[in-house]
Structure 1
Amino acid sequence: MSPTDEQGYPETGQTRTRLPGGDPYGGAPRRTGRSSSRGLVTVVGVVVLLIAAIAFANRGDGSSSGDSPKKDQPKAAATGASGTRPVQTKTGTIPSGFAHTEQGAQSAAANYAVVLVSADILKPSWRSTIVKQVFAADQQPALTDKFNKAYDKQFLASLGLDQNGNASAGHTYVSRTAPLGTKLTSYSDSTATVEVWCTGVFGTAGDDSRNPVTSDWFTMTLQLRWENSDWKVASFSQKDGPAPVPGDDKASNADQMAKAVEEYGGFTYAR
């Protein structure tokens, strides 16, 4: 990904589904290699999602609500299986109906992190649906405009995608995120702040791809608000790492990566 600020969103940069240069979502989530040292390829890939989110996230939650998180913040604890089902419903393909509890907030954050860094956020036909389902109502109009500007035709072309967010013939665009753990840093009946540690694969699979699929490690911080009987995102930011020492795995070819994305489905994540 391109260099990002402490909140994970380049002011002029790119992001993971990341957006193109600058504030991704107002920030948008990022998609591929993040560090400038990984080269231009990383910059482009990472830009997509995060960029759209950046502009938005850097401004805070934008909420006028008088409710604020409790001063006594929860202690950090390793994420472990709770035995509680995260949700039993979905709105479209996005999990919904999270419990009004600390665990519910963490499950919501984990699932929303996956959605915000998905390939679908780059597609105009899906973007508005994602924004309406994931974000708080008062943030949706401004965020929709920021996303549309961040994921414009020029940015999509830099990723090898057409104006509809589709890869050219013989190529498959990959943006798949897997949360490894969550940390609740503040909680009240109306708001919650959750950090989600993630890894993922991002890029375009194809023999002549200029943006090959690479792995990435990042942490997303989501400010959530309890609204209409569910947790919604008021704002979010992203930063690199923590990342492990790279292994010596043999890289798969383009066909193997494309088939993996098509053949292996995703999960609904729980605390």
Structure 2
Amino acid sequence: MSLGDENDGFGGGVGGSGQTRTRLPEGGSGDLYGGGTRRPPVRSSRSLITVVGVVVLLIAAIAFANRGDGDPTAGSSTSTDKAPAGAGAPTAATGVRPVTGRTGQIPTGFAHDEQGAQSAASNYAVALGSADMFRAGPRRVIVETVHDPAVVTGLLARLDTSYSPGFMAAVGLEADGTAPVGLAFVSRTIPVGAKVRDFTNDSATVDVWCTGLVGLAGEGSTKPVTSNWFTITQKLRWVENDWKIVSSEQTEGPTPVNGDNRASLADEIAEAVEGYGGFTYAR
């Protein structure tokens, strides 16, 4: 799924293992889904194009707009407790080496082991799913911080094109990515869990199961904050003494059944967004 085919979506991309993917909006008449009002399954949609996998909540944003150093074995747990058969390993508060480095608000300097790779992937998902990705300056900082330098230049060019004034207007934002006066733009990714699919000393593939929030909060908002569930698969490389993203992709779910919670009023959501900060995630 691309602008033309998988090889020429953006002038050939970065190529090889450095290709980074995501699903971005097609240009056209302004109807991002060709007239539909429900977000189609990622696996079958032809109204989205595969480009560079960094905008973690971009798919949800589109639907929202359309609707109106270490040894790799060093991180092994020393606990003798065994989880039930088929159960995922619990996520600890900190890993073998707590993350103390930071570039801006993004944790960096992860352990060179499987736990470090999971922690990196989870924290990078949070950064790439934030509202800062909708503004050019913060977006550049995020992309440069979490990606392999080999893919950054081409990636930024593609993203700057994708975050066009037309797309911003469809999401309900000003051309510079800021929210209209009196409203707060919400775009958050919250990791629920992570698992390593493949691991070597210098590469890792990590799945991060997430829930996310996206929308405009505040009195009079016509695009209320909604939630969604998705899984991000990141391919990481050990570069410059840290884990960095080489490529990523996003799929729907797993999605739980909705509960019976009462939907909060717009001003309650706005207050919560302003009052509750995010977390640093580590195994």
TM-score normalised by structure 1 residue count:
0.76
1:195 equivalent among 201, 204, 207? 207
Distance 2:65 2:56 in 1: 7
Q: In structure 2, what residue type is equivalent to 1:140?
A: V
- Once the two structures are TM-superposed, the CA of residue 81 in structure 1 deviates from its matched residue by 1.6
Partner SS for 1:233: strand
Q: In structure 2, what residue type is equivalent to 1:185?
A: R
Q: In structure 2, what residue type is equivalent to 1:111?
A: N
Q: Deviations over 1:136-158 (max 9, x none)?
A: 00100110011111111111111
1:9 equivalent among 23, 28, 46? 23
The residue aligned with 2:48 is 22
1:43 equivalent among 34, 57, 63? 63
- Once the two structures are TM-superposed, the CA of residue 22 in structure 1 deviates from its matched residue by 3.3
**Does the 8 Å CA contact 1:33/1:45 hold for their aligned counterparts?**
no
The residue aligned with 1:90 is 102
The residue aligned with 1:37 is none
The residue aligned with 2:175 is 163
The residue aligned with 1:254 is 266
Distance 2:51 2:99 in 1: 26
- Once the two structures are TM-superposed, the CA of residue 160 in structure 1 deviates from its matched residue by 1.2
The CA RMSD over aligned residues, in Å, is: 2.7
**Does the 8 Å CA contact 2:103/2:145 hold for their aligned counterparts?**
yes
Q: Could you say if the C-alpha distance between residues 138 and 115 of structure 1 is closer, same or farther in structure 2, counting changes exceeding 3 Å?
A: same
The residue aligned with 1:116 is 128
The residue aligned with 1:127 is 139
Partner SS for 1:168: coil
- Once the two structures are TM-superposed, the CA of residue 30 in structure 1 deviates from its matched residue by 4.4
1:78 equivalent among 89, 93, 103? 89
Q: How does 1:205-224 map to 2 (within 5 A)?
A: 205-224=217-236
Q: Could you say if the C-alpha distance between residues 260 and 33 of structure 1 is closer, same or farther in structure 2, counting changes exceeding 3 Å?
A: farther
Partner SS for 1:156: helix
Distance 1:243 1:229 in 2: 35
- Once the two structures are TM-superposed, the CA of residue 89 in structure 1 deviates from its matched residue by 1.3
Distance 2:166 2:252 in 1: 25
Partner SS for 2:107: strand
Q: Could you say if the C-alpha distance between residues 115 and 23 of structure 1 is closer, same or farther in structure 2, counting changes exceeding 3 Å?
A: farther
Q: In structure 1, what residue type is equivalent to 2:92?
A: A
TM-score normalised by structure 2 residue count:
0.73
Greater CA radius of gyration, 1 or 2? 2
**Does the 8 Å CA contact 1:25/1:150 hold for their aligned counterparts?**
no
**Does the 8 Å CA contact 1:178/1:199 hold for their aligned counterparts?**
yes
Distance 2:94 2:52 in 1: 36
**Does the 8 Å CA contact 1:30/1:45 hold for their aligned counterparts?**
no
Partner SS for 2:139: helix
- Once the two structures are TM-superposed, the CA of residue 31 in structure 1 deviates from its matched residue by 2.9
Q: Could you say if the C-alpha distance between residues 136 and 215 of structure 1 is closer, same or farther in structure 2, counting changes exceeding 3 Å?
A: same
Partner SS for 1:266: coil
Distance 1:8 1:123 in 2: 18
Q: How does 1:171-190 map to 2 (within 5 A)?
A: 171-190=183-202
**Does the 8 Å CA contact 1:32/1:215 hold for their aligned counterparts?**
no
Q: Could you say if the C-alpha distance between residues 159 and 220 of structure 1 is closer, same or farther in structure 2, counting changes exceeding 3 Å?
A: same
- Range that drifts further, 78-87 or 244-253: 78-87
- Gaps of at least 5 residues in structure 1 are 1-6, 16-20, 35-40, 48-74
The residue aligned with 2:150 is 138
**Does the 8 Å CA contact 2:22/2:50 hold for their aligned counterparts?**
no
Structure richer in helix, relative to its length: 1
- Once the two structures are TM-superposed, the CA of residue 243 in structure 1 deviates from its matched residue by 0.7
- The answer to whether structure 1 residue 225 and structure 2 residue 263 are counterparts is no
Q: Deviations over 1:194-248 (max 9, x none)?
A: 0000012111113332321011111000000000000000010001100111011
**Equivalent pairs, count:** 227
Partner SS for 2:48: coil
